[in-house]
Every structure is written in structure tokens, then in C-alpha cells.
Structure 1
Amino acid sequence: MQMDQLSAGVPVMIHLETHIKQNDDVSDYQLDVDGQLVQMGVNLYLRYLEPDNDTGEKTPVTMKFTPEGEVHLTRNAEAELRLHFISGKRVTARYNTPYGVMPIETVTPYLETSFKEKPFSGNVKIDYLLYAGEELVGNYKIRLHFTA
């Protein structure tokens, strides 16, 4: 598959693992889902629907990958979450709740993205800390792999 085919969007299989540590609580989450990879300009966008096992509803999730190695993660649920990851930096993120915007920040000690063309696939590894003000909300690890 050529990169220029990506502008129309390509179906991909996604395997996602999330490890969350909040205070003394640790939880692991795995998801295997179909998604779509689209190239717009110089950026790649990975889109998928994340099912809620309790309600059965599906939340649209978009990951944007920039040529500079930054990753933007957006979850459009009742509350919209916009996270921005830059390796080694603390950056402002947004959490739009039904009650207003909550200021949050991410600190990303580890971020690695790699993409291959044949077959088109990618690996994303993000370790980040999430802060609300000065308070640490949690320590997260995302491991994502997709294949066209």
C-alpha cells in the first residue's frame, strides 16, 4: 500500500492496551477493534469507536500523529477529552465536561511512534502522567498496534 492511498482512508485492525495506576488502584484494559487510518496533509489520523462494556455505547476516539513525533488523543464522549503528548514535556490538555472546562496537563516521560509501509502498520507507546492542577490524577501507559 502506498502512503498516497491513505488520503482516502484505509481500514485497520487495532490492538490497544492501557495500564492505569491511580493512587493504589491499578487496572489494565485491552481492546481489539476495527478502525480507519487517514492521512490529511502531513499528519496521520487513526480513528476508532471505543465500546463501553457497561452501557454498550461507543465513544469516537481519534489519535493524530504529527511528523514531529507529537500525538494528540481526542475522546468525544459526554465529556470531551483532548490530550496532547510531547516526549519529555508537560503540556496543557482539555477536558470539556457538561459542567465546564477542567484544566488538565500531561507529562510524557516516554513516547515512541513507528510506522511501516508493507503491510502498513504502526506501533505507539506512550507513558504519561495526568495532572489536574498540581494534583497527580494517574499514571498511564498506552500500547497501541495497528495493521492495515
Structure 2
Amino acid sequence: MENNSLDVNVELNMEVSQAGELTHTRISELGKLTRVGSSTYLRFNEKLENNDQAKIMVKVADNGEIHLKRVAEATNLASLLYFTNQEHNSGHLQTEYGIMPLQTFTRNSQVEILDRPLSGKINIDYDLIYDNNIVGNYKFRLIFKA
């Protein structure tokens, strides 16, 4: 499967707690899984309002670090976040007004990828931090299967 893309069904459930409000997002899409070296890439789209979409890429590195990139061209927003279990990481949000530095603290992360049958799950519980303040608590639950 080296350097080949395979179609996978992706289901992402996000729970976000910000300023006392709890929101849920569910994405169910066809995606592509690619392995390059010892890293695994999962790409899929998120449907937005007005028939727009955001492109999402999740990379699982061989050291267990998870990278999450989301680009929504219609709204001029792009984010790149990094997750390492029980560690702080630096990332950023790019807006039309400039780049905002962000941090994540990964409270818990789990990755399980099986080859036969091709399937997996990526779970991340994290805090999103801006200017040394926690702006939200996130639960990221992604499941995929060929």
C-alpha cells in the first residue's frame, strides 16, 4: 500500500465546549488514505454552508504525533494543529487579517490502524489555547474503513 491512495469512508464526530456552550459536529464523507514512508495521511472534505467546503488532512506520524490541517478557502481560514499525547504543541490559525498563534494541550490521544480489513480510529481530547488562555475543550473522534 506504499504511496497508494485508497478510498475510505470517514466519520468524524467533534464535541466542542467553549464559553459554557457545547456543540457537536458530525461529518460523514468519502476520503482518501495514503501511506508515505511510515506516515499515514487521511484526506476528506467538510461540507459548509452555501455549497462551500473545507479540506481536511489528518497525518499520523511514525512517532505518534498527529497533525490536523483544515483549509476553508471560501472563508479565508486555515488552521494547522499538532497533537502529542500529554504535551503542549504550537500551531496556528491563518485568517484574512493575519496569523494567530495557537497552542494545543493533548490530554489524551489514541490511534489504531488495522491493515486487514483496512480500518482505524483516531481519538484526540485536547484544549485549544490562545494567548495562554484555554478557549475551548475538544473531543475529536474519527473512524475510517475501506
Using the size of structure 1 for normalisation, the TM-score is 0.94
Aligned CA-pair RMSD: 0.9
User: Which one of 27, 37, 52 corresponds to residue 33 of structure 2?
Assistant: 37
Q: Residue 14 in 1 paired to residue 10 in 2?
A: yes
Q: Residue 62 in 1 paired to residue 60 in 2?
A: no
Asked whether the equivalents of residues 93 and 103 of structure 1 are also in contact (C-alpha less than 8 Å), the reply is yes
Asked whether the equivalents of residues 2 and 37 of structure 2 are also in contact (C-alpha less than 8 Å), the reply is no
Match of 1:120 in 2: 118
The Cα shift of 1:139 comes to 0.3
Asked whether the equivalents of residues 128 and 134 of structure 2 are also in contact (C-alpha less than 8 Å), the reply is yes
The Cα shift of 1:145 comes to 0.3
User: Counting strand residues as a fraction of each chain, which structure ranks higher?
Assistant: 2
Aligned positions of 1:1-148 closer than 5 A: 5-52=1-48, 54-77=49-72, 78-148=76-146
Asked whether the equivalents of residues 85 and 108 of structure 2 are also in contact (C-alpha less than 8 Å), the reply is yes
Among all aligned residue pairs of Structure 1 and Structure 2, give the percentage whose two residues are the same amino acid. Answer: 29
The Cα shift of 1:42 comes to 1.5
Asked whether the equivalents of residues 42 and 66 of structure 1 are also in contact (C-alpha less than 8 Å), the reply is yes
User: Number of aligned pairs?
Assistant: 143
Asked whether the equivalents of residues 87 and 108 of structure 1 are also in contact (C-alpha less than 8 Å), the reply is yes
Give 4+ residue runs of structure 1 displaced > 2 Å after superposition: none
- SS of match in other structure, 1:55: helix
Asked whether the equivalents of residues 81 and 96 of structure 1 are also in contact (C-alpha less than 8 Å), the reply is yes
Q: Which amino acid aligns with 1:103?
A: P
Q: Which amino acid aligns with 2:94?
A: N
Cα distance in 2 for partners of 1:137, 1:11 equals 35
Structure 1, unaligned stretches of length 5 or more? none
